[in-house]
């Protein structure tokens, strides 16, 4: 399964379950049932859906930038391909965890981080990953807890290895244990 298929499957699963709950309760309008806000300002990196165009590779993608009053640049999920849309309204897709929406090299890095955590002690578990420019910030938690115990920050690229991430995690874990 490629990045695009995986992300679209997550979106479909999330909104299908939301719509079933909303229908059962009979409380929400269609756009509320699907978590689609109205008139919200788009930020670069937002996952968006076009409302009026026919299905195409860019109908659901990442907002890159606005060009003028009625044009937007959208990046296709799972690639670096961009499309300039004119006269299309995009709405952000909300309510999906940011780690589920990672694609390309960021998703590969997340998988490497998960594998690196297997080399730490039993009680040290992955908590979160945040990208700050060209740096990745990984936080750890104790097993069965949600409180962050430490975090590491490192520059990353496609060549970042599981071994290099594990080394940083183990060093920080040892410092945490010595401070206890």
The mean pLDDT of 124-141, rounded to a whole number, is 96
Percent of the chain with pLDDT over 70: 86
Strand segments, DSSP code E, in the chain are 47-50, 60-67, 71-76, 82-86, 90-92, 124-132, 135-142, 148-155
Domain count, the chain: 2
Residues 8 and 85 in one domain: yes
| pLDDT on residue 24 | 59
Residue 7 φ then ψ, to 5°: -65, -40
Residues 15 and 39 in one domain: yes
Range of the domain at 129: 102-179
Residues 26 and 73 in one domain: yes
Does residue 20 surpass a pLDDT of 90? no
- How many CB atoms within 10 Å of residue 173? 20
Domain boundary among 67, 97, 127: 97
Domain boundary among 75, 97, 119: 97
> Is-contact 9 78, C-beta < 8 A?
no
* Residue (of 38, 84, 41) closest to 61 by Cα position: 84
Entry pTM? 0.81
Domain boundary among 97, 127, 145: 97
Does residue 127 surpass a pLDDT of 50? yes
Does residue 106 surpass a pLDDT of 60? yes
The mean pLDDT of 46-50, rounded to a whole number, is 88
């Amino acid at each position: 399964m490629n990045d695009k298929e995986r992300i679209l499957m997550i979106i479909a699963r999330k909104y299908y379950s939301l719509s079933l709950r909303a229908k059962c309760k009979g409380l929400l309008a269609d756009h509320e049932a699907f978590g689609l806000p109205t008139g919200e300002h788009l930020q670069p990196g937002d996952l968006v859906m076009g409302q009026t165009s026919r299905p195409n590779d860019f109908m659901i993608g990442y907002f890159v930038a606005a060009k003028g009053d009625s044009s937007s640049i959208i990046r296709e999920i799972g690639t670096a391909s961009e499309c300039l849309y004119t006269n299309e309204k995009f709405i952000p897709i909300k309510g999906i965890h940011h780690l589920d929406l990672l694609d390309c090299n960021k998703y590969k890095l997340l998988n490497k981080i998960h594998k690196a955590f297997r080399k730490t002690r039993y009680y040290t578990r992955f908590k979160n990953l945040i990208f700050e420019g060209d740096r990745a910030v990984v936080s750890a938690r104790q097993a069965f807890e949600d409180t962050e115990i430490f975090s590491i920050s490192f520059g990353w690229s496609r060549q970042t290895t599981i071994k290099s991430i594990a080394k940083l995690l183990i060093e920080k874990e040892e410092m945490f244990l010595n401070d206890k």
